[in-house]
Amino acid sequence: MTRLLRGEEFDAKFEQFRSSVFRLETLQVYRGSGEDDAIAAFTAGLAAPPADPVQDDWEAMIRAHVRAGRVMRRVHVVTEPVTDYMQFELTWAYAPNAAAGEDIRIVPVRGADWPAGLPRLDFWLFDDAELFVAHYAPDGTWLGVEPVDDPARVATARRWRDTALQLAMPWRDYIAEWPELAARIPAGIRG
C-alpha cells in the first residue's frame, strides 16, 4: 500500500491551494477525527458543542480562503434513514462551516440505489489537479490520504466532482426538509 499522509503533512495542503478544494464524502459514520466530545454532547441532547479550538481554526481558515476568492466545496452522499453520526454532521459540523463560507451540498439517497456516476470513495481534489484519496478502517476511522498523481485518475475525480455537484442540493435546502435536525443547529449559527 502507498504511504498515507496524515496530520501536518496533509493539513499543509489547505494553506497551499490557489483556487479551489473539493471534498466528496460517502461514509455515513466517521471516527477518529477529534469530534468525540462534540458527538457525545450532541448525543446527550446538549444545545451546542463544547468549545473546540481546532474547529474554530478550521472556520477561520474557511473565512480567510473565501475572502481571498478561493472556493471550498464539499458534497456528502447521505443515505436515509440518516445515521446518528450524520445527524451530528448535518447540524453541528456543517452549520458553522457553511456559515464560514464553505459550499456544502448533499446528494440524498432515499432508496437502495447508489447514485449513478459516483464512487463509494472519499477524496479531496485541490486546484483541479492534486488528488488525495481518503482511506478508512471498516469502522470509519480515518487512516490517512493517498496522494494520486496519475493524470487519468485525477481526470476521473474531476468527473466525479462534476457529477456530485450536478446531483447535489444545497445543504441549507436539505436541512430544511428535516425540521427536527434544523432545530438542533446551535443558536447563533446561520449556515
pLDDT tens digit sequence for 56-102: 999 999 999 999 999 999 999 999 999 999 999 999 999 999 999 99
**Residue 191 confidence (pLDDT) above 80:** no
Q: Tell me what the mean pLDDT of segment 103-126 comes to.
A: 95
Predicted pLDDT of residue 3: 85
Output the pLDDT for position 25: 98
Sequence-distant (≥ 6) Cβ neighbours of residue 30 within 8 angstroms: 85, 89, 136, 140, 142
- The phi and psi torsions of 77 (rounded to 5 degrees) equal -85, 115
CA-to-CA distance for 8 and 13, rounded, in angstroms? 9
Cα 102–chain centre separation:
10
Strand order from edge to edge, sheet including 130-136: 142-148, 130-136, 123-126, 20-25, 71-79, 103-109, 169-170
Q: Which residues contact 113 (CB under 8 A, 6 or more apart)?
A: none
Polymer length of the chain: 191
Which segments within the chain are labelled E, that is strand? 20-25, 71-79, 103-109, 123-126, 130-136, 142-148, 169-170
Q: What is the mean pLDDT of residues 139-154?
A: 95
Sign of the dihedral through C-alpha 3, 23, 122, 95: positive
Per-chain mean pLDDT for the chain: 94
pLDDT (0 to 100) of residue 129: 97
Percentage of the chain with pLDDT > 90? Answer: 84
pLDDT in tens, 3-21: 899 889 999 999 999 999 9
Confidence of residue 35 (pLDDT cuts 50, 70, 90): confident
Q: How confident is the model at residue 189 (pLDDT cuts 50, 70, 90)?
A: confident
CA distances in angstroms from 52 to 11, 28, 48, 118, listed in the order given = 17, 23, 11, 33
For residue 190, what pLDDT is reported? 63
Beta strands in 54-99 (DSSP E): 71-79
pLDDT at 188: 79
pLDDT(1) > 80: no
DSSP classification of residue 111 = S
Residue 108 has pLDDT above 60, yes or no: yes
Determine how β-strand 71-79 pairs with β-strand 130-136: unpaired
3-state secondary structure of 24: strand
Q: What is the CATH number of domain 7-182?
A: 3.30.870.10
